[in-house]
Each structure stands twice: as structure tokens, then as C-alpha cells.
Amino acid sequence: MDEPEILLELKSLSKSWKEFRIRNVSLEVRRGEYFVVMGPTGAGKTLLLQLIAGIHYPDSGRIILDGMDVTDLPPERRNVGYVPQNYALFPHMTAGENIAYGLRVRGYSKGEADEVVREISRKLGIEELLDRRVSTLSGGEQQRVALARALAIKPKLLLLDEPLSALDAETREEIREYLKGVRRAIGFTAIHVTHDFVEAADLGDRMAVMF
């Protein structure tokens, strides 16, 4: 049986949280698509990702992921990979331990998790980083590790929150090309939020704009 083309559907999603507000957002993301959401700071882009990830719950509207209504499900039951803007890596752990964290939470044994970590690090070309403490990594290296951690759980959907904003211009260009290469090598569906038009145009298959 063929999988449906639409992987994610947001239906009239609304949420007020602190100074941020989202009103009646509806969109569809196709399976295998790299979908970019662009808009200025304060437009609610991060809040939108956190609603999809299950970090917050909407005031109204529905979230349909792979044909299932996940609006009220906790994050661990959505199978969504989320890379926050600050990467949220554990500084006291090695890169390999960070990548394995989500797998261990899901009940993988150490041996099973280590095998997945080796596989994903090979595909992403970061094997040499696995034994290093996160605190010794550059911004670009941390971004690669955060991406590996999100992809290790084999998510249905990858959420990227301003993944290049903390990097210098040269590293931003390098990571843009890296993301395109990883997508070709692995294949995934992603929502990437940014305020940078060049980034959006270079990476996105389609684009939505929030104000």
C-alpha cells in the first residue's frame, strides 16, 4: 500500500504563549520535502516547531502526522526529531553519548545504541568527533552532532530551528552544503525555520512566510 503524499497537516493551529501568538496556521508538508518557514524574529516560528514537536500544545487546531492525530500526544510518542537553535547538547557528555541519548531513552541497549551511533556518524562523516566532549567542539561541529542526534531515532519529521543563525558566514555556507549532502545521502522530511532569504531559497523545496 502506497504511503500518503502528505506527511504533516496543520489545521487552523492557534497558540498564545508569553509574547508570541500563532493564529489559524494551516499548511501541508509532503513526504520527503524540505519545507522552509521564513519570517522575522518574534513571528512565532520557534513556537510553531515546538507545537509540532509536542513541547507545547495548541489552544485550538489539530496536528496530523502521517495520518494520525498527534495533537494531544507527548513528544516521545510523535517520532519527531527536533534541533533547537542552541542545539541543547549535554556539555558533560561526549558527542557519541549525546547522539545515543534519544535512543537510550527509547529503551535501546547500550550495544544497540552504539551500533546506531556508529552508523549515523559514518553517514554524516563525524566519526572522529564521537569521543570528544561537546565543550571542545566548534559551532559547526556541534551542529553536526545535534543533527546526528535528531536523525538517530529515524524520525518521521525533522524540525530545524534557525540551525545556521549562530554560525559565522563561512561556516553557514559550509553547513548549508552539508545539509544538502546529508539529505541526498539519507533522505528525510524537514521543516526548517529561518529569517534568512538566501538560506531559505537555497535549501527549501517550498516556503511559507510568517509575519
133 DSSP assignment: B
Whether 106 shows a pLDDT value over 80: the answer reads: yes
Whether 98 shows a pLDDT value over 70: the answer reads: yes
Phi, psi of 139 (to 5 degrees): -60, -45
C-beta neighbour count of 168 within 10 angstroms? 12
Cα separation of 42 and 40, whole Å? 6
Max alpha carbon distance in the chain (Å)? 47
Q: How far is CA 113 from CA 43, 96, 104, 116, 117, in A?
A: 38, 10, 7, 5, 6
From the list 54, 58, 61, 55, the residue with the least C-alpha distance to 9 is 61
Sort strands 190-194 and 157-161 into parallel, antiparallel or unpaired: parallel
* Residue 2 banded pLDDT, cuts 50, 70, 90: low
- DSSP class per residue in 70-96: -TTS-GGGT-EEEE-TT----TTSBHH
What pLDDT is attached to residue 166? 85
What pLDDT is attached to residue 124? 94
C-beta neighbour count of 133 within 10 angstroms? 14
Mean pLDDT of the chain: 95
Q: How far is CA 125 from CA 36, 178, 188, in A?
A: 25, 10, 17
Global pTM reads: 0.94
Cα separation of 158 and 17, whole Å? 23
Q: How far is CA 79 from CA 8, 46, 152, 155, in A?
A: 12, 18, 11, 5
Beta bridge partners of 63: 10
63-91 pLDDT per residue, tens: 999 999 999 999 989 999 999 999 999 99
